[in-house]
Amino acid sequence: MASESGVEGDKYRYYLNGDGERSTKWKFGTPPNYEVVNKLFEEGRTKIWPAGSLEEKVQNLVKTWEMELFHKANIEDFKTLDPNKYTFSLNGRKGINLEEIGKLGGGYNPLLQTTLPENLRGYNPEVETSESSHKAFTTTFPRGFALEILQVISGPPQIVYKFRHWGYMEGPFKGHAPTGELVEVYGMAIFELDENEKIVKVEFFYDPGQLLGGLLKGAKVGSSSEETATGCPILRSTG
């Protein structure tokens, strides 16, 4: 498992800058800038893991994996995972590969899969694209949606960990006014690495309602406010 930290560009994420990324194609034109969400992370985290610890390595791996999936346009540029073997599953669902993830629209859509009737969905992943998904959450969380690892239960090749995601709803979400409140999500995940330390299987277990419930509390507002609430949200980063 890669242990790089404090590298050029971002101290929590590797494979973002440097010679190895000269030919990388980025979904939004340029590499993402995590300065704002890193500040939120450092101010709001509940754990500070020692440098070189398993917990720090897992935390950086997860942040890097998330960065690649959200921001790299070509699967050939992914370095944390094996694109030919990789599968993702949510809450015990059948695993899906990168092609199937692409059909879901990418972005937050795989993490917000639901069997609820369409009229009860506060967020409908079946109609969202990677771009619209990213815009919705960066608009809602202008300071980002930070991630910390709370506990590592087992290390590689099968990494089992507990996590916390949090942010402040300071922008509108799907026609709901911002509340300014802290929105937190807790869950557990399993990452399986192969002999080359590439991620080949990811399983996430959490309650999407814990996230969406906090985003749908605000009063209903017109759609125009969501479009103009932040300047240019697509270059901001959420994890």
Chain-centre distance for alpha carbon 188: 14
One pLDDT digit (tens) per residue for the chain, 239 residues: 655 444 456 999 999 988 999 999 999 899 999 999 999 999 999 999 999 999 999 999 999 999 999 999 999 999 999 999 999 999 999 999 999 998 888 888 999 998 888 877 888 888 888 788 888 999 999 999 999 999 999 999 999 999 999 999 999 999 999 999 999 999 999 999 999 999 999 999 999 999 999 999 989 986 544 444 444 444 566 77
Phi, psi of 80 (to 5 degrees): -85, -20
- Which residues are 154's β-sheet partners? 160
- Please name the residues in contact with 50: beta carbons below 8 A apart, sequence gap of 6 or more: 56
β-bridge pairing 199-206 and 87-90: parallel
| pLDDT given for residue 157 in this prediction | 97
Whole-prediction pTM: 0.89
Q: In the 8-state DSSP scheme, what is residue 219?
A: P
- Residue 94 tokens read as 């059948």
